[in-house]
Structure 1
Amino acid sequence: MYEIICAIILGILEGLTEFLPVSSTGHLILAGNLLGFEGDKATTFKIVIQLGAVMAVFMLYWKRYMDILKDLLTFNFSAKNKLNAIHMVIAMIPALIVYLIFKDDIKSHLFGPAPVLIGLIVGGILMIIAARAKRKVTAENTDDITYKQAFGIGLFQCLALWPGFSRSGSTISGGLLLGTSQKAAADFTFIIAVPVMLGATILDMYDSRELLNGDTLLLFLIGFITAFVVAMIAVVTFLNLIKRLRLEWFAFYRFALAAVFFIFVM
């Protein structure tokens, strides 16, 4: 029964934090530490509930994905100033390569409270730098993003492999530094979230396939559904919020969270 309560709490937390640059993974690791819900089962559980949040993003942008898929199947990449599959692929490649090379080291050394607190602080500093940087905006929306900018954002996405940095925080910061508007960076971040996180989830679930059995099915299903429902309710509000608030406000929250956990947990 206690594990089911943990599943609901963590599912709610995942749905609420996945779309903000505050590191949902970091929140889950810290919350799991507080709840005593740790170990291989907990790690696999966190992967499953992230998939629930990803499905919520897909529901929000499904028309855009269908357009991109249609252009891909018809090899239609000739339209200028239009986001297409090439943007998505080149934005995904850097993090995918780094993950495949270092995934064992990442899981062994970075999935703990101390590395998360460091990621929260350093990621927050990056966000403040990006928000206050003087740059010329060349991409007001996602269709203005160039292949070069997409690849650069993909390089920044590698930072998100460190729990606590936040995927959206890293990529939105990268977009701002590379000349996109915060709105364009946020939209692009969420659009590439589905294939990136879906791919990572499939790989992780394959590695943890021995834990996907009848004994864990109910627990994982409760967490997945909770994260999906909460994310569906929260996604529109949070997308509007992230496009309107300056990025450093989220950085200040990260610093406060890190301070609280350092004082009371570490």
Structure 2
Amino acid sequence: MQTFLEALLLGVVEGLTEFLPVSSTAHLMLVGDMLGFEGPPGKTFEIVIQLGAILAVCLVYWRRLWGATVGIPTDPRARAFVRNVILAFLPSMVAGALLYKYFQQMLGAPMVAAVALVVGGVAILVIERMAKRVRVSEVEDFTPRLALAIGLCQLVSMIPGVSRAGATIMGALVLGVERRAAAEFSFFLAIPTMLGATVYSLYKNWETTSFDGGAVIAVGFVAAFFAALIVVKAFVAFVGRHGFAPFAWYRIVFGGLMIALLLMR
């Protein structure tokens, strides 16, 4: 029963933090370490609960995603949408394949994630003050260069604690994208990015991957799905009213706590 409760908690943590600029990796590292969670062999649990978060985004935006897919042959804006997501995904796809072992090694360094949380929080506060000029307010209006530039910003998130959502959203704001469009593009970009990372991780860890703990995995998957569903629906409205500063201060406090706990060991 304890293992199921831990899987439930970690699934909720994944779902709540994956699409916020607070780093799901850092949260899972700290919470999992504090719980002493031991899931199925390999990285099966962590991989599958990410799929739960992806499914939540697909459900919330299914009309827009479906419209873009079926509109490719006839609708220029649908083609622009798909083009922009693909272009932004390409840098992470290439870097992930070439530097996989290096970034996996960093996942075993919680202090790196803790420091990155604090530094990233400060960076968000600075960017919130600087990025005032809005030039683009719709994903379909991104130029290929802008989409690729946001994709390059996402590369920074391969450092644990930086946050994929934080890197893409803040990069988009600096490049003149409106808050809502920046957040939504981060959601759309997460779909191929996380799906690609999941498939590649399964491929690299296939020999040690086990689905023997299927029930534990299922609990984490469902928890991540429903938690992400809540976040994705509420996040855009929240940042529209309050901006990203609350997440920055949260990162600084949580990162500082994480550093303190690590130093006390």
TM-score (norm 2): 0.91
Structure 1 distance, partners of 2:5, 2:23, is 22
Deviation per residue, 1:19-45 (Å, 9 max, x gap): 211011110111111111268847431
1:217 pairs, out of 211, 214, 217, with: 214
- 1:195 deviates by 1.3
Output the aligned Cα RMSD. 2.1
1:108 pairs, out of 100, 105, 108, with: 105
Instruction: Confirm whether residue 6 of structure 1 aligns to residue 6 of structure 2.
Output: yes
- SS across alignment from 1:240: helix
Mapping 1:1-266, distance limit 5 Å: 1-37=1-37, 41=41, 43-72=43-72, 74=73, 76=74, 78-79=76-77, 83-266=80-263
- 1:249 deviates by 2.1
Structure 1 distance, partners of 2:76, 2:225, is 36
- 1:232 deviates by 1.9
Gaps of 5+ in 2: none
Structure 1 distance, partners of 2:241, 2:142, is 20
Q: Are the counterparts in 1 of residues 131 and 176 from structure 2 also a CA contact under 8 Å?
A: no
- SS across alignment from 1:215: coil
- 1:82 deviates by 7.2
- SS across alignment from 1:26: helix
Q: Are the counterparts in 1 of residues 117 and 161 from structure 2 also a CA contact under 8 Å?
A: yes
- 1:89 deviates by 0.9
Residues 29/146 of structure 1: CA separation in 2 closer, same or farther (3 Å cut)? same
Count of equivalent residues: 263
Most deviating of 62-71 and 23-32 = 62-71
- 1:134 deviates by 4.5
Q: Are the counterparts in 1 of residues 14 and 49 from structure 2 also a CA contact under 8 Å?
A: yes
Q: Are the counterparts in 2 of residues 71 and 84 from structure 1 also a CA contact under 8 Å?
A: no
Q: Are the counterparts in 2 of residues 20 and 242 from structure 1 also a CA contact under 8 Å?
A: no
Gaps of 5+ in 1: none
Residues 108/40 of structure 1: CA separation in 2 closer, same or farther (3 Å cut)? farther
* Paired residue type of 1:161: M
Highest RCO, 1 vs 2 (Cα 8 Å, sep ≥ 6): 2
- 1:48 deviates by 1.3
- 1:172 deviates by 0.6
TM-score (norm 1): 0.91
Residues 43/211 of structure 1: CA separation in 2 closer, same or farther (3 Å cut)? same
Q: Are the counterparts in 2 of residues 138 and 144 from structure 1 also a CA contact under 8 Å?
A: no
- SS across alignment from 1:265: helix
Residues 52/141 of structure 1: CA separation in 2 closer, same or farther (3 Å cut)? same
Structure 2 distance, partners of 1:102, 1:118, is 21
Q: Are the counterparts in 2 of residues 117 and 258 from structure 1 also a CA contact under 8 Å?
A: yes
Structure 2 distance, partners of 1:143, 1:244, is 23
Structure 1 distance, partners of 2:40, 2:61, is 32
